[in-house]
Amino acid sequence: MVRIEAIYDGKLRCTATHIPSGQKLATDAPVDNMGKGESFSPTDLLATSMLNCMMTIIAIAADSRELDVSEMSGSVEKHMTSGPRKVSKLEVEISLPPELHSEDRAWLIKRGLACPVHKSVSEEMEVEVRFY
């Protein structure tokens, strides 16, 4: 169990605190929803969580087999819809080091696709993942 506490700072900004570490994270409403867009929006964090979770699970799996994925990188594009306003699609791209053997790549990809965030999102949300 992890506890996160948040306060509303005004002007559509919230600050969350990760209680175990004390780290703080600010969110702003996006420009297209009455905000300033000066930081991650809550839905940006959802997209970021998907990408970072997949990359973290891949790194954990790689470490268990002493595979070097230190050059791994990725990106995510978030698509919104209105009525109701929600995240409709995430397009995730992850670049794995080219020197990985094909069987190691396949094993790491399978692990990444099984990350907790990927398993937790609504089936109504389209998630497209490409590995390079």
pLDDT at 82: 86
β-partners of residue 39 are none
Cα 65 to chain center, whole Å? 24
The span from the CA of 108 to the CA of 129, in Å, is 13
Over the stretch 51-97, which tens digit does the pLDDT of each residue have? 999 999 999 999 999 999 999 999 999 999 988 999 999 999 999 99
Decide if 94 contacts 112 (C-beta within 8 A): yes
Decide if 20 contacts 9 (C-beta within 8 A): no
Phi/psi at 128 (5° precision): -110, 125
Decide if 37 contacts 31 (C-beta within 8 A): yes
pLDDT at 99: 93
DSSP state letter for 29: -
pLDDT for 37 beyond 90:
no
pLDDT, mean over the chain? 95
CATH 3.30.300.20 residue spans of the chain: 42-131
The band of 35, judged by pLDDT with boundaries at 50, 70 and 90, is confident
CATH class label, 42-131: alpha beta
Mean pLDDT of 94-118: 96
Q: For residues 36 and 112, which has the higher predicted lDDT (pLDDT)?
A: 112
pLDDT at 122: 87
The span from the CA of 32 to the CA of 55, in Å, is 29
Burial of 108 (0-12, 13-18, 19+ CB in 10 A): buried
Structure tokens of 49?
């969580």
pLDDT at 114: 96
Q: For residues 32 and 28, which has the higher predicted lDDT (pLDDT)?
A: 28
Give this prediction's pTM: 0.91
